[in-house]
Chain A
Amino acid sequence: MDDLAIVRAVHFAATIAVFGELAYTLLLSRGHVRPPRFVAMTAWSLAVVAVSALAWLALEARDMSGLPLREALSAETLDMVITQTLFGQLWLARMALAAALAVALYFLRDGSRDTGGALALVIALVLLATLAGMGHAAAGRGAARSVRLAVDALHLVAAGAWLGTLPPLAMAIGAAIRSADADSLDRVREATRRYSALGIAAVGTLIVSGLANVSYNNVAFTAEGVGDLYGSQYGHLLFAKLALFLVMIAFAAVNRLRLAPRLDAPAVFRTLRRNAVAELLLGLAIVTIVGELGITTPPTPHAAHHAATTPRALE
């Protein structure tokens, strides 16, 4: 896996983590009670967002310019990337969003205010959604491109909602088990119920938007199209992502159908927490794959490949 893929994966994971903490607090937690270590999780995640964004810029400057990294880090080259490329302009806008989020979180740190929480959630959502502009969806032009960007943004937000809320949920379950307090256990039961509902919406959105994303990369849903995928690096990564996704759904199904209705005994809570952690690890593996997938060339379909090598290109 190359360095750019790793940096992208770290950035995606950290952006999802910030969004997830806020989404859990405002949407899943009754009374907006914060999950354990809310401040530490959001602060550290945002710090990783910033550092990984800087690394991403450096590596893009290297790749775009074709210069060795040290030379690419000149003020001139970085300025060209930031001011004269779509990637750079979007990068700058997202750094501004991250800074705004840091300010919002600073004012929310002692938990005495609730009003800024929704604003922080919206900023975090936009920070996540705008990652669409830094991948394959940004290619092309016109209205079709706008649709592709919107679909990919939806995919990112759904993934963030499903994966990002797992760490705070797992930690809340853990804290409730340790305290054995009836109120805490009840809150966690409620959060789990809401998480299941969110999960269903998220999975549905991921499937539809995921299929759309793949079709936009010129993959046909035919035997030949799947054959093209099978022989390509892009295809290998995609199949790995799908396989992990299916396993995650299996865990989620078990949680919803078998565990959630029986959340009384501490043992059931412990199993739920263990499953949540397992899902989280699977989700992290998916994010790692996505880091690479977004910079891997989709296969050229057989039909188009044939057209490209016929007389038109050789006239």
Chain B
Amino acid sequence: MSLPRAMVCCVAALALMAADAAWAHAFLDHAEPRVGSSVERAPRQTTIWFSEPVEPAFSWVKVFDANGKRVDRGDKAVDPQDASVLRVSVPPLAPGRYRVAWRAVSIDTHVTEGDFTFEVKR
């Protein structure tokens, strides 16, 4: 193998090792309030951290009460510093169970959806 070709192969092999893997789909990494948690104080917002940056235009998060009534303010937004963080604000929530439904479109166009619950204690 000639020297230029060997060098190209080495650079290629380094490229192989250098880059981290990516998830390719935006999965829920963690949330606040935490998935399935009971919180003492009513949260002011619901935040979801995804495994991948998401497209703000088509990703959303909504909060519903135990009767299925939507309670969030509809102001969902992606964090300007980190596109993998999506949040929506909520008014002061009464004690009870709440369901958070989310839909994420990752920047490589894959769609994921999910939901989880949390509880606000007295």
Main secondary structure of the interface of B (DSSP, over half): loop
Contact between chains at A87 and B34 (CB < 8 Å):
no
B111 at the interface (CB under 8 A from A): yes
Contact between chains at A297 and B25 (CB < 8 Å):
yes
A69 at the interface (CB under 8 A from B): no
Fill in one digit per residue for A175-195: 1 if any B CB lies within 8 Å of its CB, else 0.
000000000000000000000
Contact between chains at A208 and B12 (CB < 8 Å):
yes
Question: Given the interface contacts A86-B55, A208-B16, A212-B15, does A136 sit within 8 Å of B103 by beta carbon?
Answer: no
Contact of A139 among B28, B36, B37, B106 (CB under 8 A): B106
A140 at the interface (CB under 8 A from B): yes
Residues of chain B lying within 8 A (CB to CB) of residue A143: 19
Contact between chains at B55 and A64 (CB < 8 Å):
yes
A11 at the interface (CB under 8 A from B): no
Contact of B57 among A85, A134, A141, A308 (CB under 8 A): A85
Fill in one digit per residue for A201-219: 1 if any B CB lies within 8 Å of its CB, else 0.
0001100110110011110
B21 at the interface (CB under 8 A from A): yes
Nearest CB of chain A from residue B102's CB, rounded to whole Å: 13
Question: Given the interface contacts A150-B15, A208-B12, A314-B36, does A139 sit within 8 Å of B57 by beta carbon?
Answer: no
A228 at the interface (CB under 8 A from B): no
Contact between chains at A64 and B18 (CB < 8 Å):
no
Nearest CB of chain A from residue B76's CB, rounded to whole Å: 14
CA distance A313 to B32 in the complex (A): 11
B27 at the interface (CB under 8 A from A): yes
B13 at the interface (CB under 8 A from A): yes
Chain A interface residue count, CB cutoff 8 Å, equals: 44
Contact between chains at A139 and B24 (CB < 8 Å):
yes
Nearest CB of chain A from residue B73's CB, rounded to whole Å: 21
CA distance A212 to B109 in the complex (A): 21
- Which B residues, 36 to 60, have Cβ-Cβ distances below 8 Å to chain A? 36-37, 52-53, 55-58
CA distance A293 to B47 in the complex (A): 32
Question: Given the interface contacts A63-B109, A139-B106, A208-B9, does A148 sit within 8 Å of B28 by beta carbon?
Answer: no
What 8 A-B pairs are tightest by C-beta distance, nearest first?
A140-B22, A147-B19, A84-B57, A139-B22, A138-B108, A212-B16, A144-B19, A208-B12
A contact residues vs B (CB 8 Å cutoff): 60, 63-66, 80-81, 84-87, 134-141, 143-145, 147-148, 150-151, 204-205, 208-209, 211-212, 215-218, 295, 297-298, 308, 312-315
13 A–B contacts, CB within 8 A, in A order: A60-B109, A64-B109, A66-B58, A86-B108, A139-B22, A139-B25, A139-B52, A139-B53, A139-B106, A212-B12, A297-B110, A313-B30, A315-B35
